[in-house]
Amino acid sequence: MLEVRDVFKSYATPQGLLPVLQGVDLTLGAGGSLALMGESGSGKSTLLHLIAGLDKVDSGSIRSGKHRLESMNEAQLANWRRTEIGLVFQQFNLIGSLRVEDNLAFQARLAGRHDSRWQAHLVQRLGLGDLLTRYPEQLSGGQQQRVALGRALASQPKLLLADEPTGSLDEATSDDVLRLLLELLDDTPTTLLMVTHSQRVAARLAQRVVLSNGRLA
Amino acid sequence: MRVWRQTLRALLSHWRRHPVQFFSVLTGLWLATSLLTGVEALNSQARDSYARASQMIGGEPQASLSTPNGALFPQRWFIELRREGWPVSPVLQGRLTLKGHEDQRVQLMGIEPVSLPADSAVAGQAMAIERIVEFFTPPGNTWISPETLRLLGLREGDTPPTVGGHRLPPLLVQKDMAPGLLLVDIGVAQALLEQPEQLSRLLLPKEFHQALPASFKDRLQLKSSGEENNLARLTESFHLNLDALGFLSFVVGLFIVHAAIGLALEQRRGLLRTLRACGVSARMLVACLVVELGVLALIGGLFGVISGYWLASVLLPDVAASLRGLYGAEVAGQLRLSPVWWFSGIGLSLLGALLAGANSLLRAARLPLLAVADPQAWHQQYTRWLRRQGWLATGLLVIALAALIWGNSLSSGFVLMAGLLLGAALALPVLLSALLTPLLGRSRSVLGQWFLADCRQQLPALSLALMALLLALAANIGAGSMTAGFRQTFNDWLGQRLSAELYINPTNPAQAREMHRWLKQQPNVTAVLPNWEVSVTLQGWPADVFGIIDHPHYRQHWPLLDNSGGDPWGKLATDDAVMLSEQLARRLKLKAGDHLSIATPNGTWSPRIVGIYADYGNPKGHVLISSDHLLRGWPQLTPNRFNLRIDPAQIPALLTALQTRFELDDSRIIDQARLKGWSVQVFERTFAATAALNSLTLAVAGVALFISLLTQSQSRLGQLAPLWALGVTRKQLMLLNLGQTWLLAVLTLLLALPLGIALAWCLDAVINVQAFGWRLPLRVFPLQLLQLMGLALLATLLASAWPLYSLYRTQPADLLRTFAHED
The domain segmentation of chain A, as residue ranges, is 2-216
Tell which of B6, B265, B271 to mutate to test the A interface (max A CBs under 10 Å).
B6
Looking at the fold, whether B777 and B820 belong to one and the same domain comes out as: yes
Looking at the fold, whether B516 and B463 belong to one and the same domain comes out as: no
Residue B51 lies in a domain: yes
Looking at the fold, whether B34 and B95 belong to one and the same domain comes out as: no
Q: Is B143 helix (H, G, I), strand (E, B) or coil?
A: strand
Residue of B nearest to A138 (CA): B817
**Angle, CA of B117, B122 and B126, to the nearest 5°:** 80
Looking at the fold, whether B171 and B117 belong to one and the same domain comes out as: yes
Looking at the fold, whether B67 and B201 belong to one and the same domain comes out as: yes
Residue B416 lies in a domain: no
What is the torsional sign of CA B317, B319, B324, B325? positive
Residue B156 lies in a domain: yes
* Segments forming the whole domain that contains residue B672: 435-501+664-823
Residue of A nearest to B11 (CA): A97
Ranges under pLDDT 70 in chain A: none
Within 8 A of B16 by CB-CB distance, chain A residues are 97
pLDDT at B798: 80
DSSP string, B734-789: HHHHHHHHHHHHHHHHHHHHHHHHHHHHHIIIIIHHHHTS--------HHHHHHHH
How buried is B172 (Cβ within 10 angstroms: 0-12 exposed, 13-18 middle, 19+ buried)? middle
Residue B386 lies in a domain: no
Looking at the fold, whether B708 and B748 belong to one and the same domain comes out as: yes
pLDDT at B714: 61
Residue B392 lies in a domain: no
Q: Is A20 helix (H, G, I), strand (E, B) or coil?
A: strand
* Residue B296 Cα, gap to closest chain A Cα (Å): 18
Residue B502 forms beta bridges with which residues?
A: B644, B671
Q: How many domains does chain B have?
A: 4
In the 8-state DSSP scheme, what is residue B639? -
Q: Is B283 on the interface with A (CB under 8 A)?
A: yes
Looking at the fold, whether B619 and B757 belong to one and the same domain comes out as: no
Q: Do the Cβ atoms of B10 and A95 come within 8 Å? A: yes
Looking at the fold, whether B481 and B530 belong to one and the same domain comes out as: no
The CA distance from B43 to B49, in Å, is 10
Choosing from B326, B356, B373, the residue where a domain stops is B373
pLDDT at B772: 74
Residue B766 lies in a domain: yes
Choosing from B228, B253, B269, the residue where a domain stops is B228
> C-alpha B755: how far from its chain's center?
22
B813-822 burial code (b ≥16 CB/10 A, e <16): eebeebeeee
Q: What are phi and psi of B578, to 5 degrees?
A: -135, 165
Q: Please report the number of interchain residue pairs, chain A to chain B, with beta-carbon separation below 8 angstroms.
A: 79
Q: Do the Cβ atoms of B370 and A85 come within 8 Å? A: no
The answer to whether A52 touches A45, Cβ cutoff 8 Å, is no
Residue B315 lies in a domain: yes
pTM of the model: 0.63
pLDDT at B227: 45
Q: Is B279 on the interface with A (CB under 8 A)?
A: yes
Choosing from B373, B390, B415, the residue where a domain stops is B373
pLDDT at B119: 58
Looking at the fold, whether B578 and B453 belong to one and the same domain comes out as: no
pLDDT at B815: 59
Rounded to whole angstroms, the maximal C-alpha distance in chain B is 104
* Residue B706 Cα, gap to closest chain A Cα (Å): 24
Please state which CATH number belongs to domain A2-216.
3.40.50.300
Looking at the fold, whether B76 and B155 belong to one and the same domain comes out as: yes
Looking at the fold, whether B118 and B152 belong to one and the same domain comes out as: yes
Residue B387 lies in a domain: no
Block means of pLDDT (10 residues each) for chain B, length 823 residues? 85 82 79 81 75 54 70 86 86 83 76 74 63 77 84 86 86 79 88 86 77 77 58 63 71 73 77 85 88 89 88 79 64 70 83 83 75 49 78 93 88 88 90 85 75 81 80 82 79 76 83 88 88 83 87 86 87 90 86 87 86 81 90 84 87 84 74 74 67 72 72 67 69 83 87 90 84 79 85 81 76 57 40
Residue of A nearest to B271 (CA): A95
Q: Which of residues 352-381 of B touch A (CB under 8 A)?
A: 369-370, 373
pLDDT at B375: 43
Looking at the fold, whether B595 and B557 belong to one and the same domain comes out as: yes
pLDDT at B232: 61
